[in-house]
Amino acid sequence: MEIPYTVKPRPDTGLYNAKLGIWLFLASEVMLFGALFSSYVLLRVGAEPGTWSMGLMDLFVGAGNTMVLIASSMFVVLAWAELKQGNLAGYKKWKWATIACAVLFLCVKWGYEWPSKFKHYDVWLNNATVLHEKFDEGYHEVASHGEHADDEHEHGDAAHGGDVEKHVEKIYTTRFFKERSEPSHAAFDDAWRNGTLALSGHINAYEEAQIDVRITDWKADAGVSEADAEKALAKQGAEDAAGLRLNGGLLLSKTGYDIAKRAEYALGQAGFTVALSVAGYERVEAHPWMWRTKRVNEDIGGKPRVSSIVFGLDHSHHQEITLDVGDIKRLSAYEPKHSTFFGIYYTITGLHAAHVFGGILIMLYNMLPIGLGLWHRDREQFTNRIETFGLFWHFVDLVWIFLFPILYIL
């Protein structure tokens, strides 16, 4: 089927069909993004002071990515101008440059910005005053520590007594208010006293339970023997199950939580009576990626799966505090469910990034022989196709132009 008016303007609209089509599509896109922008504004304006994440986004990265998109927008229009002049080589040059920019943008967004958020945590404590002793234990080390000693000085000495409060307030203020003000101070005071305070930082290590899996009994009447139990246990990871025999039971000792749970299920299915117990705790060095909150809530026979976490506070790379799981009310990575801000942040930037990704696919199509075939058949139509893609690409750039101040500055 021949689509009419791909080159000549249609008399009644005065535009070639593809251009009218892409503008209509963009109009619908305006509504789509308009709804999300409105949602953002409403959520932002409606947020209680101290509940909106601020000062979290790296302004340098955001501005850098803005520059990258601006450059790509520039390149895509230059590619079209080259085609207008009949220069296919010039078109290819600028188009590759556009693709490179788009890929760079996505790498920064999906390879750096998002993952670094997923590895960042907020922790809410049941009782913030526990921090006084925690900070006394390990935190004051830092004052005499190397490179950051100078700029950390004002709170480096501040490990004791009421000064801890000052340092935590500084972190809290940067996190939720950017700058210190009367309202920020009031909000901090309130949070500090009633225990709704959120500390931000990274989990550097945690103490996880080592679990004994014990087979205490087996159904002899159903033809299951001790030898079967030994085999079954060996299958679950006990190298030498017979050697671990003790007190009339068989033991798979000091294994991880997941293995223990799996063994409990599999052995139970096979007709054995299984008991799990916590043998002790082991420190695990880790910088976990989206370490799910539920892990700290899991327990074995009333003993927590994780007994404590070692938390490296923001803006204090040498400073760690160990928090007992019992003191933690909520622990959450900066994933979508963390807060309203991150919910809408991932939605909007994700939708925008999906547009960038789609754009890359279309650009690649227009660079490959299958897409370039049109150039050799009908130069004007191909040029128009590139122009309509350019319109889409500029729109993607436009969305980012508004996203940049909204997400990184406000």
The answer to whether 43 contacts another protein (rule: CB under 8 A) is no
**Sole binder of another protein in the list 51, 58, 61, 81 (CB under 8 A):** 81
Distance, in Å, from the CA atom of 328 to the CA atom of 307, rounded to the nearest integer, reads 11
Nearer to another protein, 67 or 186 (CB): 67
Q: Give the Cβ contact number of residue 221 at 10 Å.
A: 6
For the chain, what's the residue count?
410
The answer to whether 96 contacts another protein (rule: CB under 8 A) is no
Distance, in Å, from the CA atom of 87 to the CA atom of 80, rounded to the nearest integer, reads 10
**Sole binder of another protein in the list 4, 67, 137, 242 (CB under 8 A):** 67
The answer to whether 186 contacts another protein (rule: CB under 8 A) is no
Q: Candidates 63-71, 111-119, 184-192, 321-329 — which segment interacts with another protein by CB under 8 A?
A: 63-71
CB crowding 98-112: b at 16 or more within 10 Å, else e: bbebbebbbebbeee
Shortest Cβ 14–another protein spacing (Å): 4
Q: Candidates 145-153, 317-325, 369-377, 383-391 — which segment interacts with another protein by CB under 8 A?
A: 383-391
The answer to whether 107 contacts another protein (rule: CB under 8 A) is no
Shortest Cβ 97–another protein spacing (Å): 13
For the chain, what is the total number of helices (H) and then of strands (E)? 14, 9
Taking a C-beta distance cutoff of 8 angstroms, is the pair 45, 406 a contact?
Answer: no
Distance, in Å, from the CA atom of 72 to the CA atom of 68, rounded to the nearest integer, reads 6
**Sole binder of another protein in the list 6, 73, 98, 174 (CB under 8 A):** 73
The answer to whether 303 contacts another protein (rule: CB under 8 A) is no
Distance, in Å, from the CA atom of 217 to the CA atom of 249, rounded to the nearest integer, reads 7
The answer to whether 63 contacts another protein (rule: CB under 8 A) is yes
**Sole binder of another protein in the list 4, 41, 116, 141 (CB under 8 A):** 41
Nearer to another protein, 34 or 268 (CB): 34
**Residue 291 has which token pair?**
């370490």
User: For another protein, how many residues bind (rule: CB under 8 A)?
Assistant: 55
**Sole binder of another protein in the list 51, 61, 84, 371 (CB under 8 A):** 84
120-179 positions binding another protein, by CB under 8 A? 178-179
Shortest Cβ 355–another protein spacing (Å): 15
Distance, in Å, from the CA atom of 277 to the CA atom of 251, rounded to the nearest integer, reads 11
Strand, helix or coil at 317?
coil
SS3 content of the chain, % helix, strand, coil (to 5): 60, 15, 25
Distance, in Å, from the CA atom of 338 to the CA atom of 347, rounded to the nearest integer, reads 13
**Residue 130 has which token pair?**
């526990």
* Contact map string, positions 16 to 35, toward another protein, x by CB under 8 A: x--xx--xx-xx--xx--xx
The answer to whether 223 contacts another protein (rule: CB under 8 A) is no
Nearest by Cα to 255 from 286, 226, 279: 279
Nearer to another protein, 149 or 410 (CB): 410
Strand, helix or coil at 324?
strand
Give just the sign of the alpha carbon dihedral 346, 348, 354, 359.
Answer: negative
Residues that bind another protein (CB under 8 A): 7-9, 11-16, 19-20, 23-24, 26-27, 30-31, 34-35, 37-38, 41-42, 45, 59, 63, 66-67, 70-71, 73-74, 77-78, 81, 84-85, 178-179, 380, 387, 390-391, 394-395, 397-398, 401-402, 404-406, 408-410
